[in-house]
Amino acid sequence: MRDEATLQFYADQASAYVAGTRRAPAARLAGFLARLAPGAAILELGCGGGVDAAEMLMRGFAVDATDGSPEMAREARMRLGRRVRVMAFDALDAEGGYDAVWANACLLHVPMADLPGVLARIHRALKPAGLFYAGYKSGAGEGRDGLGRYYNFPGREALAAAYGQAAHWAELEMEESHGKGYDGVDTPWLHVLARRAG
């Protein structure tokens, strides 16, 4: 499931990547957090340099920040001044432990064949009525960007099918946008907000 070339990119470029990235759009993160109770327990997958985690902590949420790259987790640890777990998506084994899962621009590195299994793990990790956000670069199928990183590049139908195959969600919202990633290329994005049944 892990793409070695992608992991190697983040290992080699961790410091530069963190310096060149920003947190999620303020409105998107704020809208997500506004749906949660004060002090809610949030699992962050693919926390990168910890910018989003820092915002969540500042707002009083209990954040379990994780990243699949030891080098990126180290960068986040330095920013946050607290433990950041190194964890691959397929190692998530929590059951009903979180009020929410935030996965900004990270599940896009999961091969499409493996995505339903990862989404099922996330569903299990949520408490009843738990909220889950993930953002994906959209496209016509799997491939690599100009930096050699693997992306699943799903379309709306493929992404909806992956979520449907993984679990029953009480709510599933999908929104489109355009934006530039670390590579500077203007890209269509799909943002998915899902809620586990209560």
DSSP assignment letter at 109? G
Residue type, 144: R
Q: What are 85-121's pLDDT values in tens digits?
A: 999 999 999 999 999 999 999 999 999 999 999 999 9
- Calculate what percentage of the chain has a pLDDT beyond 90: 86
Of the pLDDT bands very low, low, confident and very high (cuts 50, 70, 90), residue 20 is: confident
Band of residue 18 on the pLDDT scale cut at 50, 70, 90: confident
pLDDT band at 181 (very low <50, low <70, confident <90, very high): confident
- Residue 184 clears pLDDT 90, i.e. is over it: no
Supply the pLDDT for residue 144: 95
- Cβ atoms of 154 and 162 within 8 Å: the answer is yes
Q: Give the CATH number of the domain where residue 24 resides.
A: 3.40.50.150
Q: Is pTM beyond 0.85 here?
A: yes
Q: How far apart are CA 81 and CA 140, in angstroms?
A: 40
Give the separation between CA 47 and CA 86, rounded to whole angstroms: 10
Report the domain count for the chain.
1
* The one-letter amino acid at 75: E
Domain that holds residue 142: 4-196
pLDDT of residue 26: 79
